[in-house]
Amino acid sequence: MNRRNLLFLAPSLLVAGGALAKAPKTTEAPPPAQPSAPADPRQALLASLASCETAAMACEAHCARELSAGNTEMKECASSVAQMLTLVRAARALLSRDASLAKATVAVCKDACDACAAACKAHEPHFAHGMHLECKACLEACLSCGQACGAYLA
């Protein structure tokens, strides 16, 4: 910017600066957020199913790597997560279509999530050592999804 442009802008800047200086200063806290409407259990469940599926896919891949390396302790976890993934995907598909079999599938999905969480929990002693963290994430996602299934079914 050259000096000529600055000379033309100077009065505008002074006026704007004066207006800002005269603006009242507020020290009040913003109003509290309005409580939102209760979440739709169907939408909450769809989100939870998607999150659970993502965590379960990582757990399933981890189990496969461990099994291929000879760690047979992962057998139950691998089986449980594969079963749960099938039901999560089915429940998600049926629920998104509002199909007549959605509730029945969600009930079975809840059982699968509970079983998968129990299988992943078996690896809990390793979590503190930074091992089987995929199982930990799957465990947490399954617990959350199981709760969302229960809320939807209620």
With pLDDT > 90 as the criterion, what percentage of the chain qualifies? 64
- Helix orientation angle between 41-68 and 133-153, rounded to the nearest 10 degrees: 150
Q: Would the pLDDT of 7 be above 70? A: no
Q: Does residue 21 lie in a domain region?
A: no
Averaged pLDDT score across all residues of the chain:
84
The structure's pTM equals 0.72
What DSSP state is assigned to residue 154? Answer: -
Q: Does residue 101 lie in a domain region?
A: yes
Question: At 56, which amino acid appears?
Answer: A
Q: Does residue 79 lie in a domain region?
A: yes
Q: Does residue 102 lie in a domain region?
A: yes
Q: Does residue 90 lie in a domain region?
A: yes
- Structural domain harbouring 78: 41-153
Please choose, from the candidates 60, 146, 45, 154, the residue with its C-alpha nearest in 3D space to the C-alpha of residue 94: 45
Q: Are the CB atoms for 136 and 120 separated by under 8 Å?
A: yes
Please choose, from the candidates 117, 113, 112, 109, the residue with its C-alpha nearest in 3D space to the C-alpha of residue 136: 117
The pLDDT value given to residue 44: 92
The pLDDT value given to residue 11: 56
State the total domains in the chain: 1
Q: What per-residue string of b and e applies to 98-133 under the rule 16 or more CB within 10 Å gives b?
A: eeeebeebbeebbebbbbbbebbbbbeeebeeeebe
CATH of the domain at 127: 1.20.1270.360
Q: Does residue 33 lie in a domain region?
A: no
Please choose, from the candidates 86, 76, 78, the residue with its C-alpha nearest in 3D space to the C-alpha of residue 53: 86
Count of CB atoms situated within 10 Å of the CB of 46 = 17
